[in-house]
Chain A
């Protein structure tokens, strides 16, 4: 039948394809089906068969099951969302779904599960939903399973289909039941919070089911739910323990253990799991061993202690013959090291490095060694000489790709651990001397990266070099020119540093001839670099050659030059965190040096050391200021610092951050510095030295312990020393192992307000995100139809009810949250404002005033940045001074915030403070994105009196343009009842919808709130007048716009233009832009110096473009907009805002 499969040669296959094409042209469906079947096979072999898509559909629609089956198989194998004929299948599939033959239906469902597209999902969701209640379980289970795919493609179907899906959890057929469990488990894993209400049902299933497949899914589901509902954890203990003890299925056991790890339950339970894992790891089955280790590594993150007790087992796994198991064990080691065992573990690993066959595993070992040693800022390294020797030993690895890693470590340690520099330099000099060993083999060029580090370290810290001449000569060898360009460049640069220090040395000791000799050497050897093909090397070398020639001239004239040459390399380089540069926020217009608050008056400042050139002072602000530090602590630290400085001969610059020291102190302070005896022969090339350090270290620790004991005794006798020492609770823990040196690990520097790099990084393309849908809400009728209605309309139709929110489902959770937040914010605000309100109580007048968003700083919610509306008020004169004051502080905040992209959602907000101390109202005008002629005004009523307010009715005098949306049948004079009553001190929110004809003009609507005040003395009917101000800016929606789109818009030529100029502007441009963004809902498109382009859009789709230019004392704004009236009104509003600046 398919003989060609045995020898699929290209020629033969192209022949076959020709044949198939012929067959497809025939009318006989059987021949066609056979051809399609062959194509399916060819597709698997990697041939493109998309040209036959239409033929596949033909075969799919055959009436006979035989052919249909083949057609669907072919479709499921080769159709995807890009297949354009796929939409032709909709009706055929629908027909097959409703076929009386269950196998027709089954085959259609199976096929659909592979190629369902959003369109198919939308069109067929209802059909499939019906099939979930089919009489045949065979169909039911398929329909249930495929629903998951449908949900993914068409999230709107989830809510309508969910009740039925839930029913299927209790289906009489176990297959259907497990299908439903599968689907819900998958859904819940992604968005667990919506499925909490199903927990009891699943709990019942878990305790009753015996099907391991189902149990695994349910346990997984609980693993997702428990973090959200901790009470579940307790309930689960019993059934899980039973399962763990009773089950013989390893897969189930593994799932239980994994879940327990994920939700971290009680300690004893945890121990049980770790025990079980040990059994897994000890098992002879490689798979179980692997999984056991994998699970251990998860435990390690939460309970490192419980893993550490199994160190023996894990070290044993390092010897396993399976590489993947060894790698897992390596991962575990990372978390198991301590100061005590680091050397031992690394020694073991080094043995493995030697034994390892295959470069991948060896490279993995190498990276692990470095990871383990360097983790948390070299926390576990007590002896850096040892570490440097380890690194040097690692350079002897053949063919590793990770030379740069070793190099980076060498550099890092040499730069940041000052005390080690002398040793590091001597080792690096040795490496340079033996460079031929490292660089000889071209295959090993990965490792020659270490020469980069070696050359730099020797150059930079050349003052520690004992035989600088020799090293310089090593660097000038002709062999060097075979190294990669970037390494040669470093060589060239650093040999000058070396040269400079040799020169100085010789000059100081008066050996003029030796000094000239060395110059001569340089002049002789440098030309080989000048000839380099690498531009960088060439350029550096020729510069330096000229420099040295000049020096030679001076030397001949017997002018002392060393001081000047060495001045070329003065100053010290500080380590900067890799991301530091990226994290510097845009500082334009921001005076970073200005104090935001008054500088703290504590003694901190006197500790400041003279800054060296690269020291970033900003870091100090962020790290140093720790308000909790009490005087005692400070005194103690100062003491420690002094002591350290005294002991550190190389101490030249500012102290490390106190935070770091804070970690170090417990072991450091009371231990005298041990003078390490460097008797170990350092210059035996090719001999591993790290072992000797291990021994040395042991001796040292022993000695240290003895000394400490002595000291302790002394301390006791001393009866409390002069200093406040918190070390009285000394136990012989690993923390007591003091580093061999005063380890001064300089922390990497970061700018002050570094932006957090891990911002809520949810993938916007995550297909599961769309399924984050609240399922417990009652299902609205509207939801079955794709017609989307907005909640505003609904709210109005039933104003008396508790205003159920019926809105576009997918938006629901977010919006609710937002509302909630808003309210919270408003409450905060109100507290601030309370005083003001009281002041005004006597006025008995309605005052509109600004509401200031102070909290935005705390709650940096990106999604929503409320825009404040500036409302104009005639009676404001009294308050004006107050206002402008507040505005300035507020715009400073905005200025920083505006660096973030501005969100689309915007609304205007102002506060409506109603006098009399009875009730305070905040309102919020929000453009309706779905409806271009409606705005929603959310009003928060707060009862600030001691009386009970009821029967509130809000009425607004409609204008021709702006009308309040009232229930059908009511007249314009009827007010809209507020759907709640207000007990004293309570606030609540109501929404009112207004329709607008035109948005080009600002509007003010007069309104009245009538209510009944009820107190002990009886009830009175009262009224409050207010004004609602709809400014033009409140119809704008902050819309981000890219500069190219913006340019196109301006070019289009159908925009009207208008401009304004405001004089007497004193605030900075940044503040000015922030003001426009904030009050008028614009976003900055581009900013060049004191000129910026801005953009916004109205709810009716008008584009508004601005060009803002700042002169000496004035600002000119050129605006372009589709509508000239809107533009001029907007500009007028802007003028008013700006003129208050």
Chain B
């Protein structure tokens, strides 16, 4: 899954098949170019190599997934939409800057939603609950740690 801006800047990438960095770069460049070249009224699917590309634009960001031949395009679109909803809920009307400045959060949310390229949790509520709890854990630990470092200082 790739997220990139209208200017073609990559904002998030997640690969569910092992590839070398060089290949990843090549694919990314190719896909970004292809998708950005499409006109706004065109449908969200295109065939690319032996894969199908499903993309959708939300505000200034393009969300783009590559799926296999037998996979369902519409459900992939749904996945993209679901991810956007999750980001939206988490950040509160998400914008591109949220994803730039909290990119690790965006990854964590994606990791709670998808695992190994498969949908892991179909319930929005559950995904957000897991993220919140993990964050909570992080904060409580951070407090400990903050205190500790002060001691050291």
Contacts and interface: CB of A to CB of B under 8 A. Distances in A.
Q: Do A and B come from one complex?
A: yes
Interface of A: 1-2, 5, 28, 30, 37, 40-41, 44-46, 48, 50, 64-66, 69-70, 73, 76-78, 80-82, 101, 103, 106-107, 109-110, 113-115, 138, 141-142, 145-146, 148-149, 174-175, 178-179, 182-183, 186, 189, 211-214, 216, 220, 250-251, 254-255, 258, 286-287, 289-291, 321-325
Contact of B137 (A44, A81, A101, A324): A101
Contact of B120 (A40, A82, A141): A141
What bracket does the count of chain B residues touching chain A fall in?
35 or more
A754 B99 CA distance: 59
9 contacts: A5-B100, A48-B21, A65-B137, A65-B138, A73-B111, A113-B115, A148-B116, A175-B121, A291-B45
Interface string B97-127: 0001101100110011001101111110010
- Among A30, A44, A255, chain B packs the most CB atoms within 10 A around the CB of A44
Given A216-B72, A291-B74, A322-B42, 5 more contacts: A64-B145, A213-B119, A254-B73, A287-B43, A287-B45
B129 to A, nearest CB: 9
Contacts of B116: 113-114, 145-146, 148-149
B70 interface: yes
Interface string B1-42: 000000000111101101111000100000000000001011
A44 B10 contact: yes
A251 B100 contact: no
B115 A44 contact: no
Nearest to B76: A251
B42 A286 contact: yes
A69 B72 contact: no
Contacts of B137: 65, 101, 103
Contacts of B88: none
B41 A321 contact: yes
A323 B120 contact: no
Contacts of A114: 15-16, 116
Contacts, number: 148
A66 B138 contact: yes
B149 interface: yes
The 4 residue pairs across chains A and B that have the minimum distance between CB atoms: A251-B74, A286-B43, A290-B43, A113-B116
Contacts of A40: 103-104
B133 interface: yes
Contacts of B94: none
Contacts of A289: 43
Given A37-B104, A69-B138, A286 B74 contact: no
B141 interface: yes
A286 B138 contact: no
A390 B92 CA distance: 60
A211 B141 contact: no
A37 B138 CA distance: 15
Contacts of B13: 44, 77
Nearest to A45: B10
Nearest to A767: B17
Contacts of A216: 72, 75
Contacts of A109: 115
A73 B145 contact: no
Interface string B43-86: 11110000000000000000000000010111101100000000
Contacts of A148: 116, 118
Given A2-B101, A103-B133, A149-B116, A251 B72 contact: yes
Contacts of A5: 100
B120 to A, nearest CB: 6
B125 to A, nearest CB: 11
A250 B10 contact: no
Contacts of B74: 250-251, 254-255, 287, 291
A174 B134 CA distance: 21
A64 B72 contact: no
A134 to B, nearest CB: 15
A324 B46 CA distance: 7
B130 interface: yes
A178 B118 CA distance: 10
Contact of A82 (B20, B77, B107, B134): B20
B45 A324 contact: yes
A142 B41 CA distance: 38
Contacts of B78: 251
A69 B126 contact: no
